[in-house]
């Protein structure tokens, strides 16, 4: 099973990267779960035709009880991708990371992975914080590897380095390790050189180079990923290539 956590600066495009990668895996015949770990609960919306799944924390507040089956807190989207959103506390009250911890415990109690038996699990994690609840996806065997999304922007690279250091600090606890970098281009000056320099200094591969694309925005306006809406487009082929690479690496150990 491939288990990946996607981290990066807030607003850098983690959800776009994650949902398109999920779509590519699913289009290759893999059984996929995507778990959005953000109070905004919008990670999976473009896998669901623009109609969001009810976040776990909202469910708990509305019904004042825990769900008894996965279907109460999950929806199947494009190519049967199982979509789950942790959500967060009532705005201004409580810790957002707590929603992740609560959700993960519920999924464990409901035996999600034993029941669904996925080939791929993707965790789309809030912002550039790797502490408390936001570190949960890389603890206790949930995710085995981390993908860091960055552009060539100064603050995106700053966040990427903080994430790399934080994950490295967990290395002696058998937590997840950084697998590589996803370059999500913003067309800033010397972007390629800046990101390649960061990757080289960090000793990490750039696993995918995603161009700034009007097609991505076009299909997101329709509630779709670009992989679903235009699978033969060059930008979609980038996600297929990334999925294939990760699958081959998993097969080759």
The domains located in the chain, with CATH, are 2-252 (3.40.50.300)
Let me know if 64 is a catalytic residue: no
Per-residue pLDDT tens over the stretch 111-146: 999 999 999 999 999 766 666 667 888 877 799 999
Point out the catalytic residue in the list 38, 58, 124, 128.
Answer: 128
Least confident of 23-27, 46-50, 149-153, 175-179: 175-179
Point out the catalytic residue in the list 40, 42, 119, 249.
Answer: 40
* Contact between residue 1 and residue 119 where contact means Cβ atoms under 8 Å apart: yes
Provide φ and ψ at 131, rounded to 5°.
-150, 165
pLDDT at 116: 95
Q: Which residues of 126-253 form beta strands (DSSP E)?
A: 145-150, 177-184, 206-210
Let me know if 3 is a catalytic residue: no
Strands 32-37 and 120-125: parallel
Residue 158 CA, chain-centre distance (Å), reads 19
Let me know if 40 is a catalytic residue: yes
pLDDT at 128: 64
Let me know if 128 is a catalytic residue: yes
pLDDT at 66: 95
Per-residue pLDDT tens over the stretch 9-50: 989 999 999 999 999 999 999 999 999 998 888 999 999 999
């Amino acid at each position: 099973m491939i288990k990946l956590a996607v981290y990066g600066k807030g607003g850098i495009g983690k959800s776009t990267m994650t949902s398109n990668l999920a779509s590519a895996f699913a289009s290759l015949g893999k059984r996929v779960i995507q778990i959005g770990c953000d109070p905004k609960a919008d990670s999976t919306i473009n896998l669901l035709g623009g109609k969001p799944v009810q976040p776990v924390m909202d469910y708990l507040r509305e019904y004042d009880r825990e769900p008894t089956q996965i279907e109460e807190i999950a929806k199947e989207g494009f190519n049967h991708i199982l979509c789950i959103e942790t959500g967060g506390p009532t705005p201004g009250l409580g810790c957002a990371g707590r929603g992740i911890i609560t959700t993960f415990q519920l999924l464990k109690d409901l035996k999600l992975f034993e029941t669904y038996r996925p080939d791929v699990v993707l965790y789309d994690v809030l912002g550039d914080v790797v502490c408390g609840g936001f570190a949960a996806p890389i603890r206790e065997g949930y995710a085995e590897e981390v993908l860091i999304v960055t552009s060539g922007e100064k603050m995106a690279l700053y966040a990427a380095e903080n994430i790399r250091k934080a994950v490295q600090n967990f290395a002696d606890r058998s937590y997840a390790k950084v697998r590589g970098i996803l370059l999500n281009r913003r067309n800033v000056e010397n972007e390629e050189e800046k990101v390649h320099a960061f990757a080289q200094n960090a000793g990490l591969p750039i696993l995918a180079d995603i161009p700034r694309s009007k097609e991505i925005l076009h299909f997101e306006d329709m509630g779709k990923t670009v992989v679903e809406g235009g699978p033969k487009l060059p930008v979609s082929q980038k996600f297929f290539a990334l999925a294939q690479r990760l699958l081959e690496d998993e097969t080759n150990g």
